[in-house]
A = this chain, B = another copy of it.
Amino acid sequence: MRTFRSILGQGNSCYYKYAKPTVISFREFHVFRDIPELRKHRRQLLLDGKSVGLVPTMGALHEGHMSLARQAATENDEVFVSIYVNPTQFGLNEDLDSYPKTWDADIRRLTKLDEELAQSGKGRVTTIFAPTTKTMYPTLPPDSSLPGTGSFVTITPLANLLEGKSRPVFFRGVATVCMKLFNIVQAERVYFGQKDVQQTVIIKRMVKDFHLDTAVRIVPTEREKDGLAMSSRNVYLGQRRRKVGIVLHQALRAAESAYVMGGRGRDEMLALAWDVTNKMSEQQDGLAASERAMFEVDYLSLADPETLEEVPMVDEQRGAVLSGAIKMLPLEAVNHGEILGLGGDKVAVRLIDNIVLQPTDT
């Protein structure tokens, strides 16, 4: 068992102790709420030659996050997980307040994961950074209006495409908070899920353009058995919307199949995807209000993997990204005894997914 330098009572850092139901030993994470003590800890690791992998999260941890942390543990001595729900990435009418905050469950998940890692003899989850908003935004209050006031990182035009079209403030907020987190933790590697493909492209661009001394690692999307991409938002999907929500993945898979078969043209590929969503739409339309789950397609895209600009044809040396977003609408009528999601399926839920088409001519 490893020992931790005690930092209890110093500054704003503390231990968070979690006792397992069947106690063999306590597992303790460093939990930092503020920066100076985290820096001290991290600098010592640097001087000791220990590497750090950072997994930035907004909490509500699920299997997707675990897979990021697991990957981080295979490549680093210590895994730091940040948990911070960043206000500047939520538009004024978006769901900041309703974002699930699940600290105890998050710690349980991380503890369980770390027990697994303890067996594998690789890196461990050691540190949680859970700052306050005053720490993250020390001067002006976080602003998610446009243009808004504050200190921001903007990545143009990448941040305005795809997801950025319907969420114009989102990637400014993401880039800004990630710049802060990266500077605070100074990890050798940072981990992001492939599921949020535009985020991965923007973070890679930010790291490159601003010469951040960290490697960006992208981890494949974790999926449910039927292929639904894992997401913190899935908790809002009751059984009925959950079942229909798979349509996005199915649509992208249909388009991918054209690529696998040698197709390269945009129209050919995306037509297959639209066929899938249209068919599902019609099917739902034909059901009673108490049986159907309606949705809208925001976009289906075939884009360059680095610029995210729409392409008429896949360049075989660059590959492409197939991606899409749908909005699962609130249920129109709910049945007695029906299994509902968090919030009773009363709010629209935006789902995104993507498939990377690898270059074939390299």
Contact between chains at A151 and B151 (CB < 8 Å): no
Task: Name which residue of chain B comes closest to A153, CB basis.
Answer: B153
Q: Which of A147, A154, A180, A212 has the most CB of B within 10 A?
A: A154
- Confirm or deny: A109 has a beta carbon within 8 angstroms of a beta carbon on chain B: no
- Number of residues in A with C-beta < 8 Å to the partner? 31
- Confirm or deny: A209 has a beta carbon within 8 angstroms of a beta carbon on chain B: yes
Contact between chains at A149 and B139 (CB < 8 Å): no
Docked pose: A149 CA to B159 CA in angstroms? 10
Chain A 197-237: CB-based contact to B (< 8 A → 1; otherwise 0): 00000000110111111000000000000000000000000
Q: Which of B138, B150, B157 contacts A156 (CB 8 A)?
A: B150
Residues of A139-190 at the interface with B, using a CB-CB cut-off of 8 Å, are 139, 147-157, 179-180, 183-184, 186
Q: Which of A47, A179, A186 has the most CB of B within 10 A?
A: A179
Contact between chains at B213 and A139 (CB < 8 Å): no
Contact between chains at B152 and A213 (CB < 8 Å): no
Contact between chains at B138 and A209 (CB < 8 Å): yes
Contact between chains at B206 and A151 (CB < 8 Å): yes
Docked pose: A154 CA to B156 CA in angstroms? 12
Chain A 11-52: CB-based contact to B (< 8 A → 1; otherwise 0): 000000000000000000000000100010000001100000
Docked pose: A170 CA to B147 CA in angstroms? 18
Contact between chains at A152 and B149 (CB < 8 Å): no
A180 and B211 in contact, given A149-B157, A153-B153 (Cβ under 8 angstroms): yes
On chain B, the residues within 8 Å of A274 by CB distance are none
- Confirm or deny: A137 has a beta carbon within 8 angstroms of a beta carbon on chain B: yes
On chain B, the residues within 8 Å of A148 by CB distance are 156
Q: Which 10 pairs across A and B sit closest by C-beta, in order of nearness?
A: A151-B209, A183-B211, A149-B156, A184-B211, A151-B155, A152-B154, A180-B211, A183-B212, A179-B210, A149-B157
18 A-B contact pairs sorted by A residue (CB < 8 Å): A35-B211, A39-B213, A46-B46, A47-B47, A138-B209, A147-B156, A149-B156, A149-B157, A151-B154, A151-B155, A151-B210, A152-B153, A152-B154, A154-B154, A179-B210, A180-B210, A183-B210, A186-B213
